[in-house]
Amino acid sequence: MERSLSMELVRVTEAAALASARWMGRGKKDEADDAATTAMRNVFDTVPMKGTVVIGEGEMDEAPMLYIGEKLGTGYGPRVDVAVDPLEGTNIVASGTWNALAVLAIADHGNLLHAPDMYMDKIAVGPESVGKIDINAPVIDNLKAVAAAKNKNIEDLVAVILDRPRHQQIIQDIREAGARIKLISDGDVAAAINTAFDDTGVDILFGSGGAPEGVIAAVALKCLGGELQGKLLPQNDEELERCKRMGIEDVNRVLYMDDLVKGDDAIFAATGVTDGELLKGVRFDGSNGTTQSVVMRAKSGTVRFIDGRHSLKKKPDLVIKP
């Protein structure tokens, strides 16, 4: 993959963030998602690549754009698989809370797991704890391992987990171990990435969330030298059959980093929509919009934070929304 592609992808996430941020706090998650998806799709047309969506907004008959199998880019350049979440955290934007992102990931063709839209059990950590965790181990064992790897006491650790009834046992186990917890309403892609940055104060992610989001987070963590392990959690016969079509006969099989994203040439890009621990959200001042983004490349290990200023006079569709 060409290095220049990294900056092209930032333009894509910036556009999605600027468009969806207009809906912050207005209680309209679908409108926010539609705005992000449309903006992202339009900019993809200008990116020099031969891309195919492998994780997107749904199957062809479910989504008008960014659907699985859709071709993206100019048709010239590297052949890549594309995973997108135009608005990771639609409920977050609707309520105006933390850590909504516009995100995407790409890898060489055939290197991303085509994760079906179902739940995935996940555990994620930053670079210091790679090789120390085990998704099948008790919570206390993983906490002890991360504490040792980071030279901390368990009481110093912060575990992040989606605030869902299905996680009550994990939450109880973390509390009994003495670690601290950050409960989040949505947005486990941001939560997984945060485990790789000391400044966010997050050490480990536990719990189940979307499988497509798990793959996107795995790309980011591969770029950052972190680790994510996952196990698909089919809820019915249809989802079980989808796992089998993917070649996963044993749904209890652990999916490691190389199962989720093969090779070392992958790029992850994200732009903050609302404020978070890692990225600031979009700001508007009438004539301009400002964004903060991160883009990473696994092959080089490069991580870039990018502050953008965008003239809204040249993008009138971002100035006023109904």
Per-residue pLDDT tens digits for 172-213: 999 999 999 999 999 999 999 999 999 999 999 999 999 999
The last residue of one of the domains, among 245, 260, 275, is: 260
Structure tokens at 2: 């060409």
Helices within the chain (DSSP H only): 5-21, 29-44, 90-95, 139-149, 168-177, 188-194, 211-224, 237-245, 257-260
Q: Rg of the Cα trace of the chain?
A: 19
Q: Residue 245: what pLDDT?
A: 79
Q: Are residues 204 and 269 in the same domain?
A: no
Per-residue pLDDT, averaged over 106-131, amounts to: 95
| Number of domain units in the chain | 2
Residue 281's nearest CA partner among 1, 57, 4, 32 is 32
Per-residue pLDDT, averaged over 84-97, amounts to: 97
The last residue of one of the domains, among 260, 288, 308, is: 260
- CATH number at 137 reads 3.40.190.90
Q: Residue 248: what pLDDT?
A: 79
Per-residue pLDDT, averaged over 105-119, amounts to: 93
Q: Are residues 252 and 273 in the same domain?
A: no
Q: Are residues 127 and 233 in the same domain?
A: yes
Confidence bin at 241 (pLDDT 50/70/90): confident
Q: Are residues 100 and 147 in the same domain?
A: no
Per-residue pLDDT, averaged over 106-116, amounts to: 93
Q: Residue 299: what pLDDT?
A: 93
Residue 246's nearest CA partner among 124, 102, 147, 118 is 118
> 320 pLDDT exceeds 50?
no
Q: Report the share of the chain in percent with pLDDT over 90.
A: 86
Q: Are residues 104 and 185 in the same domain?
A: no
Q: Are residues 281 and 181 in the same domain?
A: no
pLDDT, one tens digit per residue, over 68-88 is 999 999 999 999 999 999 999
Q: Are residues 104 and 129 in the same domain?
A: no
Q: Are residues 87 and 152 in the same domain?
A: no
CB 5, CB 78: distance < 8 Å: yes
CB 103, CB 26: distance < 8 Å: no
pLDDT, one tens digit per residue, over 245-268 is 777 788 889 999 999 999 989 999
Q: Are residues 164 and 217 in the same domain?
A: yes
196 burial (CB, 10 Å; 0-12 / 13-18 / 19+) is buried
Question: Rounded to the nearest 5°, which phi and psi values hold at 16?
Answer: -65, -40
> 322 pLDDT exceeds 50?
no
Per-residue pLDDT, averaged over 14-30, amounts to: 97
84-94 core/surface letters (b: 16 or more CB in 10 A; e: else): bbbbbbbebbb
Q: Are residues 126 and 241 in the same domain?
A: yes
| Domain carrying residue 50 | 5-110+265-318
CB 294, CB 269: distance < 8 Å: yes
Confidence bin at 60 (pLDDT 50/70/90): confident
- CATH number at 77 reads 3.30.540.10
Per-residue pLDDT, averaged over 212-228, amounts to: 97
Q: Residue 317: what pLDDT?
A: 56
Q: Are residues 23 and 136 in the same domain?
A: no
Q: Are residues 212 and 80 in the same domain?
A: no
The last residue of one of the domains, among 260, 286, 307, is: 260
Q: Residue 223: what pLDDT?
A: 97
